[in-house]
Amino acid sequence: EGGSGAEATFARVNRLVGAVDDIVLAHGGFVGQHLGTTIAALFPNAADAVEAALALQRLGREPGLATEPGRGLGLAVGIASGPVVLGAVGAGESLSSVVLGATVQAAARMRACAEQRGAGVVVCETTRERLGPSPKHALREIAAGEDAQGAPRAFELGQQAR
């Protein structure tokens, strides 16, 4: 892609955001909020969120989105399950959607955990429980108990268990 560094960067970011939005929608989700290159997406159940997260990981390995040749785009995904508040903030043309609640904060902590540990997808204990006693994908505990910031147990999502 031609153009200045900034133009090329925004073109790549817009391709990524569009592809991410498409994956969320294809898995029954709804993009509640964009925050730069971070999104808050809502899904009807934990299984759909997990399948979307795995699709996002595959997207991150596509060469067209890489920032350097031969290197994938590391997408950190955090998943938490529970109630949220979705609403509109602003007025007129500056109206935008916002997702609020403890579940949103837990998902942000899971994403930070994924980023810090180099894990692709990290889910909270509630999500793990909602996936049932025999989840489709392996889950490995990587953070136990609540830390000083109140972060819940965290589980790294692995490959298919069955």
- Looking at residue 142, what DSSP letter applies? E
**Residue 57 and residue 75 in contact, taking contact as beta carbons nearer than 8 Å:** yes
Residue 8 has pLDDT above 50, yes or no: yes
pTM of the model: 0.84
Q: What is each CA distance from 142 to 17, 123, 148, 157, 160, in whole angstroms?
A: 28, 10, 16, 10, 18
Mean pLDDT value across residues 72-96: 89
